[in-house]
Amino acid sequence: MSVRTSEDIQRWLVERVAGFLELTPTDIDVRAPFQHYGLDSMEQLRVIGELETWLQRELDETLLRQYPTIESVAAFLSKAA
C-alpha cells in the first residue's frame, strides 16, 4: 500500500468528481460540499469504491457524509493512512 498525501487525494477526487459531473477539474471547489455538486448517493458510493481501489484500503460508505468536502476527505484520509 502506497502512502498518498492530502494533495494527491485531493487531486484524485477533483478529477473523479469533475468526470462524474462532466466538468473540468478547474470547475471543482475543494471546499464546496459534495451536495453542492448534486452527487447522489449512488454516485457517492461509486466515488468511495473507486477511491478504495486507488488507495488500496477499505473505506466507510458514509465517508462523504462524515467529511462533506474534498478538502476534508483528503485531510482525513492522509492522516488516517
Tens digits of per-residue pLDDT, 32-58? 999 898 888 888 999 999 999 999 999
Question: By three-state DSSP, how is residue 62 classified?
Answer: coil
Q: What is the rounded average pLDDT for all residues in the chain?
A: 92
Residue 69 pairs with which residues in a beta bridge? 33
> Model-level pTM?
0.90
- Nearest to 54, CA basis, from 70, 77, 31: 77
79: exposed, middle or buried (Cβ count in 10 Å: 0-12, 13-18, 19+): exposed
